[in-house]
Structure 1
Amino acid sequence: MTSLLTAPEERAPDLAGTGPGSADLITGGSFGASLREIIADDTAFERHREANTRRENVEAFGEKIRESGVKYIYYMLPTLGSRTVAKVVPAVHYERMLRKGIAFHRTALTDLQTSREGELIGGGVDAHEFWGLPEPETFQVLPWDPEVGRVFCTAYDPPHLGAAGGRMIPLDTRALFIAAHRSFTERTGLELRSGLEPEMSWEGPGIEVIAKADQSPAYQVENLEKMRPVYKRVISYGQALGFSMIQGDYEDDGQIELNWDYDRSERTAERMTTYRQICKQVARELGLEASFMPKPYTGKMGNGCHHNLSLWRGEENVVEDGRVELHATDIARHAIGGMLLHAPGSMVAMGPTVNSYKRFWDAGQFAPSGADWGLDTRGVAIRISANGRMEYRLPDASVNPYLSHLFLLAAVEHGLDARIDPGEPGEPSEAIRSAAIPNTLGAAIEAFEADDYLTGAMPEELSRILLQLRRDDWGRYCGHITEWEREQYWEAIP
């Protein structure tokens, strides 16, 4: 099969799926079809267990545990809401865990969230358990306690359910994205690499900042010095867990950003999950609070999590062509076109909370406000800050990195397949001119429902449960009386 990008000038334009009402659009194109096939595979559990229980794999895992000195292991996986659930098991039981794994009520994948109507979202109290089989290659020792290790798991519907069993659960976004990326590479010959910019806020004694009115405390070495105990410990723990830590800076009151090198996007997402655990541990050790809340303060910069993206064929970055001047190649432009076209619908993943949208209302704080792109300008959704990478600026620090990459991968594939033209910087094309970034979670819900391609690209259960969670959050917020409302209206009407 000819690679999607081997000879772009020889590929006939394929606009299937770009027009309203097209069958390809509604089913999410090849991306959606492949995910439906992956989810339908009822042999997935048994194949995973068979691999885990091969004698050489059992012995290798046992030897790794013995050499590490670990006595306890967290068997864990991320939830749809970007938290992590786990069971702790004495390390000596590793062979049994490889065979049986962990079991949780299925709604643990949806954070055990009960709706305002009293329904346990994700299946109710009668939902069956899922079984999580460990992936021994993900074993690591926690640097803050070398007697404790951790292993990621993949969630399955148990085989005893008969025809409904043995399948990977689409609410396990980690496993879903890994499978989707593998399938994307098989179709296109490409892999998505990414690097994140996770901003976050710290509060507590000794790190308070005093600045002049209307003057930012960003980048000042004195403020970095106040955060020295934090960044030293975060960086050292990250390095111990395999991060290639590269740089960091101080950005606003109590806000720091520490970066690690880019990698295959599933590794980057896994490191973001780990990074949150590192920061929470450091906060406990130092008597501080660490928060990934998107917009903690009015008048201060929000906590974004920009995704810097590139597409690779082998070791060739195919969105780079050697030119010196800042620009976007044709391949990058098509990928950008897909991401911008689907930016409104993607916001249910990129801005997962009510608070996420406060970033876009607070003027002058470097948050993007439109579905547009530009060359080294910070007010756009996608910025070309250096040749060879596309900085997608919409996600915030509360994002589920597996879900955000899943949505981006689907949008990129649509852009490449349909050769979607984003227009010139500051001059959007007809294809994306009507795309508008939602400014509330309610608007993001509507935008996702209106995006036939994205809803078709995602597994039906994932779309349905994601919308149910977002609607519940939005409904709770809309029904809550805030202090601002009392200040505005208590005495306003005589």
Structure 2
Amino acid sequence: MSHYTKQDIMRLVEENDVEFIRLQFTDVFGTLKNVAITARQLEKALDNKCMFDGSSVDGFVRIDESDMYLYPDLDTFSIFSWRSSSVQVARLICDVYRPDGIPFEGDPRGVLKKVLRKAAKMGYNFCVGPECEFFLFHTDEEGRPTTITHEKAGYFDVAPLDLGENARRDIVLTLEEMGFEIEASHHEVAPAQHEIDFKYTNALKTADNIMTFKLVVKSIAKRHGLYASFMPKPITEVDGSGMHINMSLWNNGKNIFADSKGKLGISEVGYHFLAGVLKYAPEMALITNPLINSYKRLVPGYEAPIDITWSTSNRSPLVRIPAARGVGTRLEFRSPDAAANPYLTLAVCLAAGLAGVQEGMDPGPQMSGNQYEMSNEERAAAEIRSLPRDMRESIRAFRNSEFMKEILGEHIFNMYLNAKTKELQSYQSQVTDWEINEYLYKI
């Protein structure tokens, strides 16, 4: 990881003829924001003197306490290599601070940094590798997104079946130019669905990378006349898009989850961490699966988890332990989707796992076989808990969670809960096309 100084940043801007710098930050709901400055204002920004109106950002502050400051993280400096214009543009990802120099409690990046400090005090470095899925759709004559695709490709198919291959290749090359190490890219199960996986690293950098990844995917797709969507379930009766989170704890270059003498090659710490994630999964769901649409992905038969179980042998449980051992030992948390705020998602995952470690939790026995084929009676007999089936259940679990309030802080907890409650109420008041088609001619 680079360790830039202010002088390094100013030199890089000058040497690369950068004229604009985007000071980026993320709101509570995972939407990327920025304040753009010219190179002449760079020194001011690097001195943490760039101010913005926090009251205009969802989930931040009221209008009577609106002044906020952006503190750039110098190690996030990167040049946007994909821009076709002659004007060079760079970015710095920023933390949000109050005017008195105190970190803003509503900054999602700050929430993750707080939990990471707790992990560091316990001797752990939290590393994460995401698996990000998305769709590439056509746009209409006015450039607006649709859910239309002409391709019929499926899992691992290639061109000419895979009509998005060229766009995906350009996305990968652009990401590599920006310093990403891309481990794999391929067509996914559904037509027009794709996946690009980048190498694991520390959780803060991973969250930053996810935000950058989504920006690059959307930008390059637009250049190809396509629209990239990270919506969890844009089309009925096909697989939705997830963002599987591969997690491990490290200490002094050693993967703490690995133990060649342990059961299944997993350490006691690994099992305790797993148990914590399983315990708090329902309470975390409103963060990891934040949309009404998210729960239309979490249904039987479409390779997304519905029950709170773990396994090494199949992909239907909530948490899978992939076959790799040693440095590759990890837990794959399969319910999150890319609509989630990555900073908050990784923060609650880590906090849940650490709680499991501190309390010595037991994950229980692993589940074998296809859980989608289990009856309700079999689930009850095995005492299997389920993930929330819709946002109403998810809101209820979140609202009653002292754990989530502690991790997120009261500001984000209350802002987030209120916003999602209003979102659900708005959805429930709408008359949908399904209702018209189902009932209009019958009643």
- TM-score, normalization: structure 1? 0.79
Q: How far apart are 1:108 and its partner, in Å?
A: 4.2
Query: Separation in 2 of the partners of 1:224 and 1:136?
Result: 43
When residues 451 and 179 of structure 1 are mapped into structure 2, their CA distance, relative to the original with a 3 A threshold, is: closer
When residues 325 and 409 of structure 1 are mapped into structure 2, their CA distance, relative to the original with a 3 A threshold, is: closer
For residue 221 of structure 1, give the secondary structure of its aligned residue in structure 2. Answer: coil
Mapped pair 1:283 → 2:218: no
Query: Separation in 2 of the partners of 1:224 and 1:153?
Result: 41
| Cα distance per residue 1:440-461 (max 9 Å; x no partner) | 1111111112222232232111
| Cα distance per residue 1:48-90 (max 9 Å; x no partner) | xxxxxxxx94433211211222111001111111111111111
| Cα distance per residue 1:294-328 (max 9 Å; x no partner) | 00111111010000001101110011113698554
Q: How far apart are 1:354 and its partner, in Å?
A: 0.6
Alignment of 1:182-193 (within 5 A): 182-186=117-121, 188-193=122-127
The equivalent of 2:103 in structure 1 is 168
The equivalent of 1:245 in structure 2 is 182
Query: Separation in 2 of the partners of 1:223 and 1:107?
Result: 49
Whichever residue aligns with residue 143 of structure 1, its letter is S
The equivalent of 1:88 in structure 2 is 36
How many matched pairs? 415
When residues 327 and 439 of structure 1 are mapped into structure 2, their CA distance, relative to the original with a 3 A threshold, is: farther
Alignment of 1:83-482 (within 5 A): 83-110=31-58, 122-145=60-83, 147-159=88-100, 166-186=101-121, 188-204=122-138, 208-210=150-152, 217-222=154-159, 225-251=162-188, 252-322=190-260, 326=264, 328-361=266-299, 363-386=300-323, 387=325, 388-426=329-367, 433=383, 435-482=385-432
Contact 1:209/1:223, CA 8 A, preserved across alignment: no
For residue 297 of structure 1, give the secondary structure of its aligned residue in structure 2. Answer: coil
For residue 470 of structure 1, give the secondary structure of its aligned residue in structure 2. Answer: helix
Query: Separation in 1 of the partners of 2:38 and 2:23?
Result: 11
Whichever residue aligns with residue 232 of structure 1, its letter is R
Query: Separation in 1 of the partners of 2:170 and 2:35?
Result: 26
Choose 259-268 or 337-346, whichever is displaced more. 259-268
When residues 190 and 223 of structure 1 are mapped into structure 2, their CA distance, relative to the original with a 3 A threshold, is: farther
Query: Separation in 1 of the partners of 2:151 and 2:164?
Result: 11
The equivalent of 2:374 in structure 1 is none
Higher relative contact order (CA 8 A, sep 6+): 1
Q: Which runs of 5+ in 1 are unaligned?
A: 1-55, 111-120, 160-165, 212-216
Query: Separation in 2 of the partners of 1:291 and 1:90?
Result: 31
Query: Separation in 2 of the partners of 1:224 and 1:335?
Result: 42
- TM-score, normalization: structure 2? 0.88
Query: Separation in 2 of the partners of 1:486 and 1:106?
Result: 41
Query: Separation in 1 of the partners of 2:221 and 2:331?
Result: 32
Whichever residue aligns with residue 70 of structure 2, its letter is G
Query: Separation in 2 of the partners of 1:326 and 1:257?
Result: 29
Whichever residue aligns with residue 332 of structure 1, its letter is G
Query: Separation in 1 of the partners of 2:261 and 2:178?
Result: 36
When residues 254 and 325 of structure 1 are mapped into structure 2, their CA distance, relative to the original with a 3 A threshold, is: farther
Q: How far apart are 1:413 and its partner, in Å?
A: 1.0
For residue 247 of structure 1, give the secondary structure of its aligned residue in structure 2. Answer: strand
Query: Separation in 2 of the partners of 1:403 and 1:209?
Result: 35
CA RMSD of aligned residues (A): 2.5
Query: Separation in 1 of the partners of 2:255 and 2:56?
Result: 39
Percent identity over the alignment?
26
Whichever residue aligns with residue 129 of structure 1, its letter is D
Contact 2:23/2:72, CA 8 A, preserved across alignment: yes
For residue 45 of structure 2, give the secondary structure of its aligned residue in structure 1. Answer: helix
When residues 368 and 279 of structure 1 are mapped into structure 2, their CA distance, relative to the original with a 3 A threshold, is: same
When residues 435 and 122 of structure 1 are mapped into structure 2, their CA distance, relative to the original with a 3 A threshold, is: farther
Query: Separation in 1 of the partners of 2:439 and 2:263?
Result: 54
Mapped pair 1:70 → 2:18: yes
Q: How far apart are 1:138 and its partner, in Å?
A: 1.6
Q: How far apart are 1:468 and its partner, in Å?
A: 1.1
When residues 77 and 328 of structure 1 are mapped into structure 2, their CA distance, relative to the original with a 3 A threshold, is: same
| Cα distance per residue 1:116-170 (max 9 Å; x no partner) | xxxxx544443422111222222111111371000111111112xxxxxx32112
Query: Separation in 2 of the partners of 1:447 and 1:258?
Result: 32
Query: Separation in 2 of the partners of 1:70 and 1:375?
Result: 49
Contact 1:109/1:171, CA 8 A, preserved across alignment: no
